[in-house]
Amino acid sequence: MKKNILVVDDSALMRRAICDIINSDSNFQAIDVCRDGLEAYEKLKTTSYDGVVLDVNMPRMDGLELLERLQKEHIKANIIMVSTLTTKDAEVTILAMERGAIDFVTKPTNIIEAKGEDFKNRLLSILSAVLRTRSYTRRMQTSDPIPKKSISPTVTRMKAPLGKGGKIVALACSTGGPKALQSVIPYLPKNLDAPMVLVQHMPAGFTKSMADRLNEISEIKVKEAEDGEKLEKGTVYIAPGGKHIEVKKTPDGGHKVVYNDMPAIGGLKPCANIMFDSLSQSGYDEIVCVVLTGMGADGTNGILSLNQHKPIHVIAQNAETCVVYGMPKMIAEAGVVDEVVPLTEVAKTITKNVGVR
């Protein structure tokens, strides 16, 4: 049976373009459309959809207002935002994640782009991944989706007493990540005894808005990473959209963020594998690697490589709480995961492994 998707956008041309994309996939159908959030609210009160593609800016009731109404009235929906690359829309989109949106796709600037392959592929891939994970988690019969043998390390793991290098946390996430991070970062203590470097697959502009918002609602300091800045304990450094980041040793024994401007890898920039790979040459005694919700396998190769050079401790989000059970699934199947935990336990698990000052 085809998955039923509701399309909400005030532009008739955009509604038609999005519906055509959805209907081009044999797994989906977009029969119902709405011109604004108020129409969508009335629909969602009486009709259940497998997914909703929602515009940000609309008359009468915009996307954020609709999400607030749905949240207040406990109306559940799998909502994917369609947002422009403006700073204002980026800020609203990050707030939309707090209000219940699952993820977002960047809105084409014109109808020609809307009919292009890039937007089509991005929209369909997110819809497919999200709904596939939703279906998968509903079918699961146990609380542990990963076979025990997959969780247990299958390669020799180095565990050494900490020297002066200390620890660092390296986190990777993708689809569903902006929402997931709001259940992790605000629950980390401000005196975490390690810095954190973080790769979330997002366009330029959105990472800055996400970092600023997380900093507002967190005790720990959160910022978009700057080229050349020194890493400090109790700070989360988010890779900017459109830039890979590496961690490099400094002459005084510390570490700094360095931008790597090589091309996108598999369409990803930033790419988590580059971040994890760079830590192989760092001075840290142990790397706590965290993999949250996301499509694909970014981070797995980097962590496997890192495991050959450094003692690591790997934490993966469990399937039930993932928007998309892709990246955590791949690293678990690689056999180097030490702990599989629900999203609400990730911050506590990080703190347990890193400690506080």
Tell me the C-alpha distance between 8 and 12, whole Å: 10
Catalytic residue ranges: 174, 201, 298
110, 154, 138: which is closest to 335 by C-alpha? 154
CA 10 to chain centre: 28
In angstroms, how far is the first alpha carbon of the chain from the final one? 54
Sign of the CA dihedral with 271 first, then 172, 355, and 144 last: negative
Nearest residue to 77 (alpha-carbon basis) of 17, 5, 158: 5
Q: Who's near 117: CB < 8 A, 6+ residues apart?
A: none
- For β-strands 167-173 and 196-200, DSSP reports them as parallel
User: Three-class SS string for the chain?
Assistant: CCEEEEEECCCHHHHHHHHHHHHCCCCEECCCEECCHHHHHHHHHHCCCCEEEEECCCCCCCHHHHHHHHHHCCCCCCEEEEECCCHHHHHHHHHHHHCCCCEEEECCCCHHHHCCHHHHHHHHHHHHHHHHHHHHHHHCCCCCCCCHHHHCCCCCCCCCCCCCCCEEEEEEECCCHHHHHCCCHHHCCCCECCCEEEEECCCCCHHHHHHHHHHHHCCCEEEECCCCCECCCCEEEECCCCCEEEEEECCCCCEEEEEECCCCECCECCCHHHHHHHHHHCCCCEEEEEECCECCCCCHHHHHHHHCCCCEEEEEECHHHCCCECHHHHHHHCCCCCEEECHHHHHHHHHHHHCEC
